[in-house]
Every structure is written in C-alpha cells, then in structure tokens.
C-alpha cells in the first residue's frame, strides 16, 4: 500500500519516528516512535497545514512510502469516543494507539482524519518487528502555496 507524508526537507530521509516520540501527538504518547502518514497527498497537505504556525512558510518534501498491506489494523469512527476529532486531542486516542503499539499486531494503524472524517491516516509503529519492510519510494520537494496560510 502507498501512503504519503509531508515533512520539512531537513527531515525527509528520517522515518524513525523520533520527532513524534519527542513530542507526542494525537495518536502517540511521548516516548513512542511512530510515523504519521496519509492515504492521499491532499490529506497529507491538510495535516501539514493544521500543524504549521501561521507565519511560517516551510521548505517541505513529500514522501511516497510503501507499507505492508497485510499489516494494517483499522479503527473506525464507530470505535472512537464522540469527541475523537476535538482539538486538543482527547488522551483516550493516545491510550488506544499505545495499546496497539504494545500489542505488536501490525505495522500500521488506520485511523480517520480529524480534518476530513472520511479520509484515513496511517500511523506507523517504528518499533514493530516488520517496520524494516516500510520503504521510501520517492522524495520530492513540495511547493507550499502561500495562499494556503491566509
């Protein structure tokens, strides 16, 4: 399966999940290395926009990543609390993903995007025994249109 990630050019080759482990996020606690990816380039862009400070126009890269199709656990909206899309994220979401990380059941966790509920993001467990099968297929510079920050 192909997924996408938009990140600062400086970090484009790093898929270790160290950034997420350092800060934590909606789907991971501090200390848990995961890689946030999306099913489409467009969803990856929206995720980037909501996490970029308003006055910053970063130099970005877009990664095309291949993940094992047979190692995906899916969580649907019906399995989440009614406030799952709130900001800041309810801590139950990182609790859910921590249980998934510890279980080691799959490399990827498919979750709904809190921006577009019908879209999917894929959280990758960088400590999973099969994470070595996750491959960067392509890295390109990504043009960030400044009109998106208005």
pLDDT digits (tens, 9 = 90+) for 80-118: 999 999 999 999 999 999 999 999 999 999 999 999 999
Q: How many domains does the chain have?
A: 1
- Supply 37's token pair: 């990816």
Q: Which domain holds residue 51?
A: 2-149
User: Which CATH number covers residue 10?
Assistant: 3.90.175
Instruction: Encode pLDDT of 15-47 as tens digits.
Output: 999 999 999 999 999 999 999 999 999 999 999
Torsion from C-alpha of 7, 84, 129, 8, nearest 10 degrees: 10
């Amino acid at each position: 399966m192909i997924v996408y990630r938009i990140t600062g050019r400086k970090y484009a080759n790093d898929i270790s999940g160290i950034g997420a482990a350092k800060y934590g996020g909606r789907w991971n606690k501090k200390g848990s290395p995961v890689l946030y990816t999306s099913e489409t380039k467009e969803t990856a862009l929206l995720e980037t926009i909501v996490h970029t400070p308003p006055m910053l126009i970063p130099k970005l890269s877009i990664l095309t990543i291949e993940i094992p199709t047979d190692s995906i656990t899916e969580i649907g909206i019906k399995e989440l609390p009614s406030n799952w899309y709130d900001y800041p994220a309810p801590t139950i979401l990182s609790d859910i993903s921590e249980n998934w990380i510890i279980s080691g059941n799959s490399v990827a966790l498919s979750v709904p995007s809190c921006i577009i509920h019908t879209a999917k993001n894929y959280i990758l467990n960088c400590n999973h025994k099969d994470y070595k099968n996750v491959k960067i297929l392509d890295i390109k510079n990504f043009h960030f249109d400044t009109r998106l920050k208005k």
